[in-house]
């Protein structure tokens, strides 16, 4: 006999907590869901018509339940006190100082939220770790909760990692491949897992809700992201071979993907992966491996991140050499600043790295992205702690209102994000060509363009994973 959940609190109204708990509220109209955050501005926008994150379908989901059984609030304490079940969905950034700097996750926010729960709770709570965290975090949370619990108050800890991808968060949540719940292998642990499973069972078939021990659950999340990132680094490593030999990476990935053991998804070569999870989670895995005295394992996974850095550098080098080995004073139009299409998120976006490389070469850069906020771009490009950075930056970098404007008088267009609107069936590349300096170059870092069509217009086209002009035409050198 397990408890039926009536009130849920979600601590952290970010990219994970916001969409996830909005879908939970939509699918469980009889459960009260309160999403809380310390950031008052973020909560205000969750309560407005301009949600703080762009995600296809999210507006409809929020509108259906907000004010009915879905609430966004800064009243963290009250929501914790009232809830039967609490999702901890706070940020876990990579540490930049101290032990494990550059690798380990900073668990300060998780611990603060955990202590707050322990301090406030006057009734039993199921506490669910939702943020991606290193293995054994649930254990630490349990120790903190139990050491600070009021007499008679019981805490059960669950791990329930989220697998949604940005840009497809709502469809991923509504039709997940699986829901994973990790619990202690005790009667109480299993009962808590069953209570949470009931919430998901409102829309997810029972067979897809799987339970296991907490540590397996925590490691599965890191492992899944590591596998996915590894596929991209593998295909990107092969893209370098393609460029040097005359093979075409799209053909290679198609051929490989037809093997049912490999599968076709996540084999798209690119200028590099970005996003808040892949790099962070792999570095977490590297750090974990090193702490467990498994240096070979650490080295194996670290290579996935190294390859990703190499890909960004390699693509930049190809751009520089195509542009006659100098970018000084040249205008480069960047199409796309988000780390992938259909999101306004720029965390770890390859475009950030590329713009920094172009700046170092003294290029003038004009950036266009359909969803990223201007202020975000400036924040991403400023080096923290450098006072004069913004004025210097703005001498070299501008933000355009359209792809056409970005490409006006440019020497080259560089596609960094695979937005649908950049396809040659959507944008008028003849108009873009006419406005550019000649020879007009396009560098396709996302394999979104039809090379033949663009060449016919007059462009010099260089695509990731396809042989460059010099290989195709030896006289070009
Ligand atoms: C392989 C490829 O599968 C095949 O497509 C290609 O044509 C030839 O190479 P083969 O070497 O005969 O075939 O056997 P395979 O089933 O791939 O196994 C190779 C090795 O990997 C074996 O030692 C097997 O035990 C091991 N293996 C396979 C694992 O350790 N774990 C697995 O999950 C799968
Ligand atoms: C990822 C995982 O997919 C998700 O399950 C997890 O919960 C969080 O991390 P996300 O980072 O939002 O999701 O997006 P994802 O679609 O995985 O893309 C990550 C990066 O890889 C993007 O920069 C994307 O452009 C790149 N990518 C993806 C490729 O370069 N090639 C591909 O084939 C797929
Ligand atoms: P993710 O991508 O994992 O969802 P975000 O950074 O988008 O991460 O969101 C995490 C949110 O958690 C932030 O909005 C932050 O303000 C919030 N947060 C962090 N600590 C607390 C806390 N103790 N109480 C309430 N909100 C918190």
Q: Which atom of ligand 2 is nearest to the CA of 271?
A: 30
Q: Is-catalytic flag, 416?
A: no
Sorted by sequence, the CB contacts under 8 Å of residue 39 that are 6+ apart come out as 13
The answer to whether the CB of 225 is under 6 A from ligand 2 is yes
CA–CA gap between residue 394 and residue 463 (Å, rounded): 29
Residues 116 and 200 in one domain: yes
Residues 241 and 128 in one domain: no
Residues 177 and 247 in one domain: no
Structural domain containing residue 470: 214-477
- pLDDT tens string 262-313: 999 999 999 999 999 999 999 999 999 999 999 999 999 999 999 999 999 9
Domain total of the chain? 2
Residues 238 and 116 in one domain: no
1 domain residue, yes or no = no
Residue with tokens 């498994």: 294
CA–CA gap between residue 359 and residue 378 (Å, rounded): 14
Q: Which atom of ligand 2 is nearest to the CA of 167?
A: 12
Domain stop point among 204, 224, 256:
204
The single residue of 9, 10, 242, 277 carrying the catalytic annotation is 277
Q: pTM, whole model, 2 decimals?
A: 0.94
- Whether residue 15 is annotated as binding a ligand: the answer is yes
Interface predicted TM-score of the whole assembly (ipTM), two decimals: 0.94
Residues 224 and 199 in one domain: no
- Whether residue 90 is annotated as binding a ligand: the answer is yes
Domain stop point among 204, 222, 240:
204
Burial 375-395 (b: 16+ CB within 10 A, else e): ebbeebbeeeeeeeeeeebee
- Whether residue 423 is annotated as binding a ligand: the answer is no
109 domain residue, yes or no = yes
Residue 472: per-residue pLDDT: 65
The answer to whether the CB of 267 is under 6 A from ligand 2 is yes
428 domain residue, yes or no = yes
Nearest Cα to Cα of residue 417 among 356, 468, 348: 348
Sheet holding 179-183, edge to edge: 70-73, 32-36, 7-11, 85-88, 125-129, 155-159, 179-183, 209-213
Residue 141: per-residue pLDDT: 93
Residues 241 and 157 in one domain: no
SS3 label, residue 95: coil
Give the closest residue (by CA) to ligand 2 atom 11.
275
Q: Which atom of ligand 3 is nearest to the CA of 112?
A: 23
- pLDDT tens string 32-78: 999 999 999 999 999 999 999 999 999 999 999 999 999 999 999 99
Residue 477: per-residue pLDDT: 43
Sorted by sequence, the CB contacts under 8 Å of residue 375 that are 6+ apart come out as none
CATH assignment of the domain containing 114: 3.40.50.720
* Distance from Cα 344 to the centre of ligand 2, integer Å: 14
* Distance from Cα 270 to the centre of ligand 1, integer Å: 28
Residues 183 and 246 in one domain: no
2 domain residue, yes or no = no
459 domain residue, yes or no = yes
- Whether residue 166 is annotated as binding a ligand: the answer is yes
Residues 366 and 245 in one domain: yes
Query: Measuring from each residue's beta carbon to the nearest atom of ligand 3, which residues come in under 6 Å?
Result: 11-17, 36-39, 42, 76, 89-91, 109, 112-113, 116, 131, 276
209 domain residue, yes or no = no
CA–CA gap between residue 186 and residue 85 (Å, rounded): 18
Give the closest residue (by CA) to ligand 2 atom 25.
340
Of 273, 276, 344, which is best to mutate to test ligand 2, by the most ligand atoms within 8 angstroms of its C-beta?
A: 273
The answer to whether the CB of 270 is under 6 A from ligand 2 is yes
Residues 145 and 271 in one domain: no
Instruction: Identify which ligand lies nearest to the alpha carbon of 162.
Output: 2
- Whether residue 246 is annotated as binding a ligand: the answer is no
Residues 455 and 385 in one domain: yes
Residues 303 and 218 in one domain: yes
Give the closest residue (by CA) to ligand 3 atom 9.
14
* Distance from Cα 26 to the centre of ligand 2, integer Å: 26
CA–CA gap between residue 234 and residue 254 (Å, rounded): 14
* Distance from Cα 26 to the centre of ligand 3, integer Å: 22
Q: Which atom of ligand 2 is nearest to the CA of 268?
A: 33
413 domain residue, yes or no = yes
Residues 299 and 230 in one domain: yes
Instruction: Identify which ligand lies nearest to the alpha carbon of 261.
Output: 1
Token output for 166? 């940005």
Give the closest residue (by CA) to ligand 2 atom 4.
165
300 domain residue, yes or no = yes
| Positions of the chain with pLDDT under 50 | 477
How far apart, in Å, are the Cα atoms of 63 and each of 12, 57, 435? 19, 10, 43
Domain stop point among 180, 204, 228:
204
Q: Which atom of ligand 2 is nearest to the CA of 341?
A: 25
């Amino acid at each position: 006999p397990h408890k039926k959940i009536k009130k849920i609190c979600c601590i952290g109204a970010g990219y994970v907590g916001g969409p996830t708990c909005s879908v939970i509220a939509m699918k469980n109209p009889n459960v009260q869901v309160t999403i809380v955050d310390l950031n008052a501005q973020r909560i205000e926008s969750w309560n407005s018509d301009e949600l703080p994150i762009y995600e296809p379908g999210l507006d409809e989901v929020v509108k259906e339940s907000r004010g009915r059984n879905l609430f966004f609030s800064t009243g963290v304490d009250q929501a914790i006190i009232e809830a039967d079940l609490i999702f901890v969905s706070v940020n876990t950034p990579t540490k930049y100082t101290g032990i494990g700097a550059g690798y380990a996750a900073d668990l300060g926010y998780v611990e603060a939220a955990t202590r707050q729960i322990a301090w406030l709770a006057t009734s039993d709570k199921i506490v669910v770790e939702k943020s991606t965290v290193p293995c054994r975090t649930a254990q630490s949370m349990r120790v903190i909760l139990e050491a600070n619990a009021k007499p008679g108050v019981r805490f059960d800890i669950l791990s329930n990692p989220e697998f949604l991808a940005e840009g497809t968060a709502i469809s991923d949540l509504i039709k997940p491949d699986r829901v994973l719940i990790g619990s202690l292998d005790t009667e109480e642990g299993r009962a808590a897992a069953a209570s949470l499973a009931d919430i998901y069972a409102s829309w997810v078939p029972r067979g897809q809700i799987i339970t296991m021990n907490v540590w397996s659950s925590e490691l599965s999340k890191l492992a899944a992201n590591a596998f996915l990132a590894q596929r991209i680094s593998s295909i990107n490593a092969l893209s370098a071979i393609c460029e040097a030999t005359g093979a075409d990476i799209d053909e290679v990935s198609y051929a490989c993907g037809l093997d049912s053991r490999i599968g076709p998804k996540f084999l798209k070569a690119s200028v590099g992966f970005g996003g808040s999870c892949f790099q962070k989670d792999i570095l977490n895995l590297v750090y974990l491996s090193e702490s467990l005295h498994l240096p070979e394992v650490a080295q194996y996974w670290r290579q996935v991140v190294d390859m990703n850095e190499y890909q960004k550098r390699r693509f930049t080098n190809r751009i520089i050499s195509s542009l006659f080995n100098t970018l000084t004073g040249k205008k480069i139009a960047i199409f796309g600043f988000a780390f992938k299409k259909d999101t306004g998120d720029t965390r770890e976006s390859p475009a950030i790295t590329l713009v920094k490389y172009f700046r170092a070469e003294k290029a003038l850069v004009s950036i266009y992205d359909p969803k990223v906020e201007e202020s975000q771009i400036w924040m991403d490009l400023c080096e923290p702690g450098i006072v004069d950075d913004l004025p210097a930056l703005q001498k070299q970098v501008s933000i355009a209102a359209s792809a056409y404007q970005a490409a006006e008088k440019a020497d080259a267009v560089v596609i960094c994000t695979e937005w649908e609107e950049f396809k040659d069936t959507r944008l008028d590349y003849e108009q873009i060509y006419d406005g550019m300096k000649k020879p007009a170059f396009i560098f396709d870092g996302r394999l979104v363009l039809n090379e033949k069509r663009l060449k016919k217009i007059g462009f010099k086209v260089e695509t990731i994973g396809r042989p460059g002009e010099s290989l195709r035409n030896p006289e070009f050198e």
